[in-house]
């Protein structure tokens, strides 16, 4: 795939791929941790705390990307 694009475009494809991979990883944690690691923890420090921290990580990830956006001429 990389040979079809100029060097700059290879980087763009790579960023996109990294973005999707990171998102997939977050989704895997969404199920794996509450159902398989914290399933017997009947406390607020269990699934409740996990999901709260987990989504904060997702939000920060989105901010890191969107803060790099810059204006484009119409």
Q: Sign (positive/negative) of CA torsion 32, 34, 35, 40?
A: positive
Least distance to other proteins from the beta carbon of 64, Å?
A: 9
Q: Are 12 and 2 in contact (CB under 8 A)?
A: no
- Show Cβ contacts of residue 41 under 8 Å, excluding neighbours closer than 6 positions: 47
Contact indicator for 22, 64 with CB cutoff of 8 Å: no
* Matching residue, tokens 């990294």: 18
CB of 59 to other proteins, least distance (A): 5
Residues 4-63 binding other proteins (CB under 8 A) are 8-9, 12, 15-16, 19-20, 23, 26-27, 30-31, 34-35, 38-44, 46-48, 51-52, 54-56, 58-59, 61-63
* Residues forming the site for other proteins (CB under 8 A): 8-9, 12, 15-16, 19-20, 23, 26-27, 30-31, 34-35, 38-44, 46-48, 51-52, 54-56, 58-59, 61-63, 65-74
């Amino acid at each position: 795939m990389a040979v079809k694009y100029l060097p700059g475009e290879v980087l763009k494809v790579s960023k996109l791929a990294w973005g999707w991979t990171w998102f997939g990883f977050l989704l895997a944690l969404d199920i794996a941790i509450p159902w398989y690691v914290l399933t017997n923890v009947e406390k607020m420090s269990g699934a409740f705390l996990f999901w709260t921290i987990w989504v904060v990580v997702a939000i920060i990830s989105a901010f890191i990307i969107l803060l790099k956006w810059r204006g484009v001429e119409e």
